[in-house]
Structure 1
């Protein structure tokens, strides 16, 4: 009894320790074993391009998949303009609670820092990587009225009429791919920029602009309808989504390799449990063959990975796109 009283007095003399909250397993590369986050209201997927763009089509499928998994409405908010900077700045300023997410591409997170003199966000510091979603392969297309049947034909037209053959763009991939084609082909071409892809396609179809690089997801319906003719893919190898189209290397421009990627981000300081839940939902959905086929049907190569992989990828892509833009001779605007 004397020993017990001594122990109690010693315990009473110790400083009080805070009560520990129950531990929560943190995400290990987006593992499904991490603590589950339960959203209590709707989630908004912000898209930096207009409806009808490839990224918009991807976001709408993603909204359906996430809504089913998380049990809350998931809506798409198109905030087009200023090469995606309007949407990017909006998400960067949003509360980091998981209800505002960014479905975006290399335009905002790889190319803009090297294309624009001023942007109101930092693609690394102002965002939390959630998950890669896949790639948006691009193709060089012309309208029915254009006689060109190959990349060589377009370049020859430009040689015959310097500065009169034009290319449209609705995003950074279109800008950089068009300028790279002109540089590698040794010709002068007129760049005609648009706010987004759909109006750019409209003018190419109408013959007001000679050609453009457009992602399969946005241009597929018009190519199937015969309104646009595919001359080549923008990558060094053929795409499994359009195997009949030659690569730019096959078409005569060896070393041409430009591709567009797609990913999901949240604002900076997004809680780990939110990132883990979203990453798991995306990866498990894309892991299903029927979901990948659903994306493939719109011209999108779907795949995913852990948040850390997307973070490293973005940092590397910023360097890659800087080099592409400098090589193409594009000056910041």
Structure 2
């Protein structure tokens, strides 16, 4: 192994989470940090830099963070969608490089347990009768919770009103109180709210029903054939980080990914595997960027207005 890789890391690492505490990224990120810490022999500190759907923290890592591998970005799908849907001051494809893919997590379509809507059909009927009156919350512009709702509206040919919040945790009080009608939230953070009885799951965004919620149909089963949406998570570092250092981080991430505590968290979140090596995850990321760019080019999705 090259000497550079052998001497890395030389001090504690920082894992930047560009999202608010309390969501799936937070839960997975903290477990991942603890497991990578074991493998690397250095403390891995989680640092939150939320805002702009993850773009504030991602830009900080890409443009201002150290380029020696001691600062790692815990990114989600919004890093790919923002290339086409947001106005960025950096290019994730040029300014960052992939380290490892972690997993993809489906979302649940949620309403208050007091809501009159008991099925996706009820929502569609109301949305068609009252265009733009139904609202859906999200954890921010161009985040997974936002895009899952936009894809739902696009495929169902209905008009909903989007209400962005600072993190999905901030949406729940308004959803429960019926000040907004809908939320699409990743299963890792939504499952507890459903099991707590204050919100109701109408559907899952995955291709198959979740084992934890076998009674909840997929959106594809509920009148939207072909609908599928999952939020992926992965690690990136600045583009200037040397290859041996990236390889060392990749090895540590893959060990953490296969650890019992992290696998347990993934299972609880109904996560599905994605390509995990740096090279394969890089191709996966590029493909996802193009997927969303194509929807914008075809006029099926419009760039978000900040």
Q: Is this a same-fold pair by TM over 0.5? A: yes
Distance 1:44 1:290, change over 3 A: closer
Q: Secondary structure at the match of 2:171?
A: helix
Instruction: Kindly report structure 1 stretches of 4+ aligned residues shifted beyond 6 Å.
Output: none
Q: Return the match for 1:86 from 56, 64, 86.
A: 56
Distance 1:177 1:96, change over 3 A: same
Q: Is it true that 1:125 corresponds to 2:94 in the alignment? A: yes
Distance 1:236 1:301, change over 3 A: closer
Structure 1, residues 84-135: CA drift from partner, whole Å, max 9, x if none?
A: 1110110002121111100011102x1112212x211111110121000111
| Equivalence for 2:122 | 153
Structure 1, residues 143-179: CA drift from partner, whole Å, max 9, x if none?
A: 1121111111111121232221111111422222212
Return the offset for 1:37. Answer: 4.6
| Equivalence for 2:137 | 168
Gaps in structure 1 of 5+ consecutive residues: 1-22, 27-34
Gaps in structure 2 of 5+ consecutive residues: none
Q: Return the match for 1:278 from 249, 270, 286.
A: 249
Return the offset for 1:312. Answer: 0.8
Q: Of the two, which has the highest radius of gyration?
A: 1
CA RMSD of aligned residues (A): 2.1
Instruction: Please report the TM-score for the alignment, with normalisation by the length of structure 2.
Output: 0.91
- Which deviates more from structure 2 when the two are superposed, residues 235-244 or residues 53-62? 235-244
Return the offset for 1:290. Answer: 5.3
| Equivalence for 2:14 | 44
Q: Secondary structure at the match of 2:265?
A: helix
Q: Secondary structure at the match of 1:137?
A: strand
Tell whether the 8 Å contact from 1:286 to 1:302 is kept in structure 2 after alignment.
Answer: no
Tell whether the 8 Å contact from 2:32 to 2:262 is kept in structure 1 after alignment.
Answer: no
Q: Is it true that 1:24 corresponds to 2:30 in the alignment? A: no
Instruction: Please report the TM-score for the alignment, with normalisation by the length of structure 1.
Output: 0.84
Distance 1:166 1:251, change over 3 A: same
How many residues are matched?
A: 301
CA distance in 2, matches of 1:58, 1:291: 7
CA distance in 2, matches of 1:249, 1:299: 18
Structure 1, residues 166-201: CA drift from partner, whole Å, max 9, x if none?
A: 111114222222122222223221111112211122
- Which deviates more from structure 2 when the two are superposed, residues 252-261 or residues 282-291? 282-291
CA distance in 2, matches of 1:62, 1:302: 15
| Equivalence for 2:46 | 76
Q: Return the match for 2:292 from 321, 329, 333.
A: 321
